[in-house]
Structure 1
Amino acid sequence: MASQFIQGLRNHLRARHCSTRTEQTYVYWMIQYIRCNQLAHPATLDSDHVVKFLAYLAVERHVSP
Structure 2
Amino acid sequence: MSKVPFGSLAAAIAALGTVLGFFALQLRADGYEQYVESVANFSVVMYVTAALIVVTWLRDGRPYSN
TM-score tier by shorter-chain length is 0.3 to 0.5
Which protein is richer in helix relative to its size?
A: 2
Larger of the two Rg values belongs to structure: 2
| Larger relative contact order (CA 8 Å, sep ≥ 6) | 2
